[in-house]
Amino acid sequence: MLYFCGSNDIKQRTMAIPIPHRPSGFTLGAANAEVTLDVFFDIQCPHSKQYWPTLLEILRRYEKHSLNATAHLITISNHHQAWTMSLALMAVAQGDAQRFFDFATYLFARQDQYMNDVFRHKTLEDQRQLAADFALDHCGMPREKLLELLDDHDVYIAARTPIRYAATRAVWATPTVFINNADDLPVNFKSPVEQWTALLDPLFEE
């Protein structure tokens, strides 16, 4: 909420978020699921990297249940390479959830190559070239194509949308997980998958 002060009055204005081209996030699992996980993560966040295999295991264990998980990719301000890698993720995924999850898994496995200490004396162009190397190695996307997509307006909008959506949910740290829109959870990124399943199993009981 912003307040504008005039000479004789105070005007109140609500800042609206523009309608995005598509909803935030990439969803795997059952359509119209009874149990939903909204996961906000940063591709350069070590805690997000630690939680990612747990999320994948949850999806595997509940493959035949009415559960889905939506991954919302955001960037934390001090993760300087996260934005470039987020653009690369959107460019490779092209709206496909499985491609998104697969490339996110690939990038997490190589997170040490784009951490801040590694890039202390490198440039934005170095980030772009590394992202192009990753895309080529992961799925054979030509380097020139990935570099072109990093500057694509639609890719930019796709990467910006979950960041703005996160603001509406008061998300400021990663990973943040909501289960059926509840975020006061007795588990966190360090919790083993068994603690997550102990929390989720009762939600499927009649």
Tens of pLDDT, residues 161-177: 999 999 999 999 999 99
Residue 111 structural domain: 17-200
Residue 45, in any domain of the structure: yes
| pTM of full prediction above 0.85 | yes
Indicate the pLDDT class of residue 22, thresholds 50, 70 and 90: confident
- How far is the C-alpha of 190 from the C-alpha of 193, rounded, in Å? 9
- How far is the C-alpha of 19 from the C-alpha of 49, rounded, in Å? 30
At 7 the pLDDT is: 42
- Per the listing, tokens 């307006």 go with 153
For residue 12, is pLDDT > 60?
no
Residue 205, in any domain of the structure: no
Number of domains in the chain: 1
At 8 the pLDDT is: 44
Whether residue 87 contacts residue 159, with contact meaning beta carbons closer than 8 Å, is answered with: yes
At 143 the pLDDT is: 97
Indicate the pLDDT class of residue 206, thresholds 50, 70 and 90: low
At 17 the pLDDT is: 64
Residue 184 sits in a domain whose CATH number is: 3.40.30.10
Residue 63, in any domain of the structure: yes
Residue 51, in any domain of the structure: yes
For residue 5, is pLDDT > 50?
no
Q: Show contacts of 181-188: CB within 8 Å, 24+ apart.
A: 181/36, 181/38
At 15 the pLDDT is: 55
Average confidence score pLDDT of the chain: 91
At 23 the pLDDT is: 80
Residue 9, in any domain of the structure: no
For residue 184, is pLDDT > 60?
yes
Tokens of 35: 């149990």
Residue 8, in any domain of the structure: no
For residue 120, is pLDDT > 60?
yes
Residue 5, in any domain of the structure: no
Residue 186, in any domain of the structure: yes
Mean pLDDT of 5-30: 67
Mean pLDDT of 82-111: 98
- How far is the C-alpha of 68 from the C-alpha of 33, rounded, in Å? 6
Q: For a pLDDT cut of 70, what percent of the chain falls above it? A: 90
Mean pLDDT of 150-170: 94
